[in-house]
Chain A
Amino acid sequence: MKSTVLSENKVSGARWLVFGRDPEKPEKIIDTNQYLIATRNQAMLLDPGGIEIFPAMLSAVIHHTPLENITHIFASHQDPDIISSLGLWDRTLPQAKLHCPWLWEGFVRHFGCDNVEFVPIPDEGSTMKLDGLTLQFVPAHYLHSSANFHVYDPESKILMSGDIGAALEKGDVPMFVEDFEAHTAHMRYFHQRWMPSNKAKNAWIKRVRALEIDIMAPQHGRLFQGDDVVRFLDWLEALDVGIALDDEAQAEAA
C-alpha cells in the first residue's frame, strides 16, 4: 500500500498522510484512501477501511507512527469500506477512541468494538484535540450516509471529505487530480447515484465554501488541491444528484 505525506507542519509537528492504491487489494473491492493525522505524541486514523485491507494498512501505518500513539479513530459513516476493520483495530489499539456519528453506534458496533471507546459525534458536529491541534468534525449528512461527517484541519487547511469528491478509476492512478475537466467523467455517476439529496448537497457546499481549503481529500480516488477545490464545489453545485429517483419517476410515467 502506498503512503504519501500530504502536509507537514514544521512548527507543530502535525502531519497528514494518505494510504491507498494497494496493488494486492482483491480486484472486486473498491479502492479506498485511508488517512492518518499524526502530531507529536498522538495520531488519528481517518476512515481506516475494510477488513480485507487491514494487514496492508497496519503494515503501512507502522512505517510512520508507533501503534501506541494512535489514540483516535474517525469513521465518517457506517459503510463497510469505511470501518469494517474496526474489530481488528479494536484488538490492536485497545486504548483508542472511535469518533463516529452518534446515529450509527448500534450499527458500527456489529463490526466489533469491545475495547475501543465509542465517542458519538452529535448531528451539529464537534471538535477534538490531537495534542495541540484542533480538528473539526464538519456535518455532511445525507452525503451519502444519513449521518456523516468530514474532518477539517484549519492549520493544514485540509478537508477530508469522505465519499464526496470520490472517483471510480481503475489502476494505479496519480494521487492528485491533474486535469479537472477530464476527471469529472470519473466522478459524475458516483455523485449522481450515491448522493441522494440536492438539498443536502447544497447545504454542504455552502458550509464548505466558508472554509479555507488547500487540499480536499476524498475516500476514493484522487485528491484535489488549489483551484481544483473550488472547481469541484462549482461542478457539484451544478450537478443533479439522486438520479435513481428520477429513473423511477420516468418508469412510472411511461
Chain B
Amino acid sequence: MEITVSKQKTGDDFYVAAVTIAATLDKVIPVAENISLGAMNTMALTARAEQSARGFRPITDFMQELANDVRRLTGDVNRVALEVSRTSLSEVRAAQSRDKVAEGQKRAGKAEYAASVRQPLAGLEREVQSLRDRLREYLYTLTSLLDEIDQRILAAISFATVARTEAASLGTSGGQFDAMAVDLNNSAEQVRSMVASCRTLLRAHQTASN
C-alpha cells in the first residue's frame, strides 16, 4: 500500500523571502537613530524655549519611545525572519526527501520489501506537516510584528501633525520645531514604505504557497 503524500505546494523559497525581509527592515535602524536624534534635539530646543514650547515635551517623549520600539521590533523581526527562513528551508528539504522516497516506492512497484518504505515515508510526511505548521506560526508572528511597527508609525504621523500645529502656534520662533516635525513625518513615512514592501513580499509568497 502506498502512503498518500500531500500534494500541497511547499514553502518554496520563503527562506529567501524571509532573509530579504530581515535585510529590508535592517535599513529601518538608521531611521530609528534619526528619530532618536530628532527627539534629543527637540528636547534641547524645548528647554531653551521654556514655557512657550512645553507642548513639545510629550512629543519628544513619544519620539524617544518610538525610536526604542522601532529598534526593538526590528530586532524581533530579524529573529523571527531567521526562524522563518530556517523552518522554510527544513520544510523544503523534508518535502524533497519525502518526494524522493515516495518516488522510490512508486518505482519499486510490488517489490518484496516495498512495505518497509511505509514507516520512513510516514515519518517524513509527519515531519513535513509539523514543519509546515511551525512555519505558519512564525509567519503569523512575523505579520503581527509588522502590524505593530505599522501602528507605531501611524501614531508617529499623527504626532507629527500635532507637532506642526504646535510649532505654528509659536509663531516665528516655531521654525525649528516645525522642521523637527517634518523630519519625524518623513522618517515615519520611510519606515512605513519599508514595512509595506516587506508585507508585499510576504503576501506574494503566502499566496504562492497556499
Contacts and interface: CB of A to CB of B under 8 A. Distances in A.
A59 B105 CA distance: 6
A119 interface: no
A87 B93 contact: yes
A245 B100 CA distance: 41
A64 B113 contact: yes
Contact of B116 (A56, A57, A66, A112): A66
Interface string A55-70: 1111110111111100
Interface string A72-96: 0000000000000001100111100
B97 interface: yes
A56 B120 contact: no
Interface string B123-137: 110010000000000
Contacts of A66: 113, 115-116
Interface string B99-116: 011011111110111111
Describe B's contact surface by its main secondary structure.
helix
Contacts of B100: 51, 54-55, 58, 88
A67 B120 contact: yes
A54 B104 contact: yes
A38 B151 CA distance: 65
B117 interface: yes
Given A55-B103, A59-B111, A62-B108, A68 B97 contact: no
Nearest to B115: A66
A58 B105 contact: yes
B107 A88 contact: no
A63 B101 CA distance: 15
Nearest to B96: A88
Counting contact residues on chain A (CB < 8 A from B), the size range is 20 to 34
A91 B97 contact: yes
B113 A58 contact: no
A62 B111 contact: yes
Interface string A22-64: 0000000000000000000000000000010011111110111
Contacts of A60: 108
Contacts of B124: 91
Contacts of B103: 55, 59
Interface string B151-177: 000000000000000000000000000
A55 B107 contact: yes
A212 to B, nearest CB: 32
A120 to B, nearest CB: 25
Nearest to B127: A91
Given A55-B103, A56-B107, A62 B120 contact: no
Contacts of A93: 120
Interface in B72-113: 93-94, 97, 100-101, 103-109, 111-113
Given A91-B120, A91-B123, A91-B124, A65 B113 contact: yes
Interface in A144-188: none
A62 B108 CA distance: 7
A58 B117 contact: yes
A63 B104 contact: no
Given A58-B108, A58-B117, 20 more contacts: A55-B101, A55-B107, A56-B107, A58-B100, A58-B104, A59-B105, A59-B106, A59-B107, A62-B105, A62-B112, A62-B114, A63-B111, A63-B113, A64-B112, A66-B113, A67-B120, A87-B97, A88-B100, A91-B124, A91-B127
6 contacts: A54-B100, A55-B103, A58-B117, A63-B113, A67-B119, A91-B120
